[in-house]
A and B are shown apart, each in its own frame.
Chain A
Amino acid sequence: MEPSKTDNTPIVRIRPPAKWEIIDFQELKDYRDLFFFLVWRDIKVLYAQTIMGFAWAILNPLIQIVIFSIIFGKVAKLDTDGIPYVLFSTVAIIPWTYMSEAMSKASQSLVAGQSMLGKVYFPRVLFPVTPVLAKLVDFSISLLLLLAVMIYYQIAPTWNLLLLPFLIVLMMSVPAGIGFWLSALSIRFRDVKFAMPFLIRMLIYSAPILYAASSIPDGYRLLYSLNPIVAVIEGFRSCLLGTEIPWQFILPGTLVSAVLLISGAIYFRKMERVFVDVI
C-alpha cells in the first residue's frame, strides 16, 4: 500500500501487498500523535488502582537483587571480579528488568490488542514498539535505586558514562527486534505465549547478570559475545563502574542486535497483511 499525494488530497492505493516492504517512516510520522497516546496510555494504566503505584518499578528489581545477593553472592559465592555482589547485580538487574518486561509485553502486543487490530487502521508497528517506549518509564524510576546503590558504594562517575546514551539505545533495540519477531509469530502460533516465561527465565542465565563474564571459558567466549544482552549488561557495568570497556562483547552484540531488528521489522511487515485474518 503506497500513499501518494496529488492535488493536496492523499491517494491511497490498496492492493494485495508486494513481497517485501520496509517500514514506512512517513506514515509513522503522520501517526506520531497516536503513538504518543498509546505509550502514555500504557504508562498511565499500568499501576492504576494499586497502592504502591510507581514504587513497584523500584520494588521489583530490589527484591530480585536481595534474593540474588543472598543466593549467588553469599551461599554460592560466585566470582564477580572483585566487585561487591550487591553492586554487581544491581547494575545488571536494572537494564535486564527493562529488557525482559519490554520483550514480554512486545511479544504479546498484537494478541492483546486484537480488538483494535480488527476495527481500525493504524500502522501495526506501533503495537510492539509501544511497550518498548512505555517501559522506559519504569526503567527511569529504577535508576534511582541504581543511583542509591552506587552512592552507597562510593562509586565515582568516570568518562565511561558518555557511553550511556548509546547503551540505552542498544538496550531498547533488543526487545524491539525480538518483539517484532515474536509478536508476528504469536499471531499464528500461540505457543509463543507459553514459551515466553520459560524463555525469559533461560535468558537470564545467558548473560553475565548473576555471574561474571570472565567465568566463561575462552573457547566459548566468541559464541557468548553474539548475545546482544551480554553487550548491554557488560556495557552498563563498565560504563557505570568505570572498568575497562569490553569492546569484544559490545561490537558483536550491536551487530547481532541490528540484524535482529532489521530482520524482525521485515518479517513483521511481511506478516502484517494477514494479521487480522489469522488472529
Chain B
Amino acid sequence: MGNIAVNVEGVSKIFRLGVKEQGSDNIAGMVWDFVRSPMKNFRKYRSLYRFDETELKETLADNGRAGDILWALRDVSFSVTEGDVVGIIGGNGAGKSTLLKILSRITPPTKGEVIIRGRVSSLLEVGTGFHPELTGRENVYLNGTILGMRKKEVDQRFDEIVAFSEVEKFLDTPVKRYSSGMRVRLAFAVAAHLEPEILIVDEVLAVGDAAFQQKCMNKMQDVGKQGRTVLFVSHNMPAVTSLCDRVIWLDRGKKISEGPAQEIVGSYLLAGNKTTAHRIWNDPGSAPGGEFARLRAVRVVAENGEIKEHFDIQQPVGLQMEYEVLRGGEVMLPHFRVKNENGVLVFVTLDHDPKWYQKPRPVGRYVSTAWIPGNLLNEGPHFVDCNLITRHPDIPQFSESEAISFAIAGSMEPGTARGDWPGRLKGVVSPVLEWKTAYSSAN
C-alpha cells in the first residue's frame, strides 16, 4: 500500500444561483424599484459567495437545493493512492467538474479539506491560454508554463511535443490560422508531456477524430503505467473501464459508491436504465400480452431461486418469465434476447424444454426459466428482452424490450477466463475453453 496521493475529507461546495426577481406591476412601483436597484444589486452581488449558517441548515433538509442555494458537492470523502488510475463518473450535475476544480485549486471548498501530495496538472480544457496571435512555437511555451512546466522543461521536451502533435510545418504560423484539429493536437501534445505526480483530466477526450482519441487514451495509459496518479472524469464508460482501476460514482453532489471499475460502472449503467432484476405486472389488464398469452413477471434468479442482480462470472444466471396462457390449444415459443452494455445482441435463446416443445399448451400459469451457464457471458451489465410467440402461424404475444437487467462481475479467480490477467478481456463473450498443447524439446 503506497502513499496516499490525494485525500478528500468531507468536502462540500455551495453555490448561490441567480433567482428570478419579483417585479412590481405599477408605474410607481417600477420607478421605486429602479431607484432602489443599486442597493438591491449591491446586496445581491455581495451575497453571491456569502452563506450564513442558518441559511445552510435549511437547505440540508431538502435534497441539496432550497431557494437559491445549491450544494454542488455534499460531504464527499475518498482517498487515492499513488499510482492509481481513478475514474469519476456520474450523471450531469453530479458535481464531477466541481470536484476537479477544487482539486485543481481553481475554486476552494466551502467545507472540508483536501490534501494533495505532489505536483498537479489539470486538463480541464485543451488549449488553455493559447493566444491566436502567437505562433505554434510560442504557444507551446506559453501553454506549457501555464500548465506548470518550467521553461527548461519545455525546452527539453520541445521536439517530442512537436512530433506528437504532427504540426511541424506550421510551427511558425499564428495559431489563429490553424484548423481546430491542429489546435487540439498541439494542445494535447503539450499536456501529454507534462510530468506531474498527479494528472487530472476532464473529458478532454471528447474532441478530435477517432485516431487522435485513441492516441490520447494510449498516452493516458502510459502515464498510469509510469506510476503516476491519474484522475479521469468521463461519460465514456468503455474508456473508463479500460483505463481505470477504481471508479468513484457521484450523483447530485454525493458520493454514491466507489470500488473496482467494472463493478461500479456496471451498477451505474444498470441504475441509469431504470431496469432491475425483477418486474411484475400485478394488474392483468395492463400486463403485456395478446389473445393467447399474457406476461405477468420477469426475473433474474440465482441457482437457489432468489432474485439477484449481480453475479460472479462463474455463476449460472437464470432468466425467468412467468406468464398465463389464456386460450389453450396453441404451440408456444418463449424466448429471451440478451444484449450487452454496447447494445450488441449476445444471443437469442428459444425454449426447447421437451415437456412443452412443439406441444399445444393448456390454459394455466407457467414459469419458464432459462439457465445461462457460468463462464459464458463477459463482465458488465446485460439487458434482457422477454418475448413469446405462438407458432404456425407465428403471432407475437408479448415482446418486452430490456425488461430486466443484471450485471456480471469479473474476478481473477482461477477457473475464470481471465485467470490472473489484470484487465477485463475484450469480447462479447468470455468462455473458458479447453486448451491442448503438444510439446517437444528442441533438437
Interface assignment of A45: CB less than 8 Å from any CB of chain B? yes
Asked whether A34 and B117 contact (CB < 8 A) given A44-B138, A188-B48, A278-B49, the answer is no
Number of residues from A at the complex interface, CB < 8 A = 35
The 8 Å CB contact of A274, one of B49, B105, B122, is B49
Interface assignment of A41: CB less than 8 Å from any CB of chain B? yes
Interface assignment of A74: CB less than 8 Å from any CB of chain B? no
Interface size class of B (residues with CB under 8 A): 35 or more
Contact with A along B74-96 (1 / 0, CB 8 A): 00000000000000000000000
Interface assignment of A12: CB less than 8 Å from any CB of chain B? yes
Chain A residues near B118: list those with CB within 8 A.
9-10
The 8 Å CB contact of A13, one of B114, B128, B151, is B114
Chain A residues near B120: list those with CB within 8 A.
12, 121
Asked whether A15 and B113 contact (CB < 8 A) given A118-B106, A121-B106, A276-B101, the answer is yes
Interface assignment of A273: CB less than 8 Å from any CB of chain B? yes
Interface assignment of A116: CB less than 8 Å from any CB of chain B? yes
A12 and B116 form a contact (CB under 8 A)? yes
**In the complex, A12→B103 CA distance in Å?**
10
Query: Smallest Cβ distance from B37 to chain A, in angstroms?
Result: 12
B106 and A120 form a contact (CB under 8 A)? yes
Interface assignment of B146: CB less than 8 Å from any CB of chain A? yes
**In the complex, A11→B119 CA distance in Å?**
8
Query: Smallest Cβ distance from A85 to chain B, in angstroms?
Result: 39
Asked whether A13 and B113 contact (CB < 8 A) given A33-B151, A116-B146, the answer is yes
**In the complex, A1→B42 CA distance in Å?**
29
Chain B residues near A44: list those with CB within 8 A.
133-134, 138
The 8 Å CB contact of B146, one of A13, A120, A276, is A120
Query: Smallest Cβ distance from B194 to chain A, in angstroms?
Result: 12
Interface assignment of B163: CB less than 8 Å from any CB of chain A? no
Interface assignment of B439: CB less than 8 Å from any CB of chain A? no
Contact with B along A240-279 (1 / 0, CB 8 A): 0000000000000000000000000000000001101110
Interface assignment of B111: CB less than 8 Å from any CB of chain A? yes
Q: Which 4 A-B pairs have the closest CB atoms?
A: A274-B49, A14-B114, A121-B105, A34-B145
Q: List 25 A-B contacts (CB under 8 A).
A: A9-B119, A10-B117, A11-B115, A13-B115, A14-B108, A14-B116, A15-B112, A15-B113, A16-B112, A33-B145, A33-B150, A34-B145, A37-B142, A45-B133, A45-B134, A117-B106, A119-B125, A120-B146, A121-B122, A122-B146, A189-B45, A274-B48, A277-B15, A277-B48, A277-B49
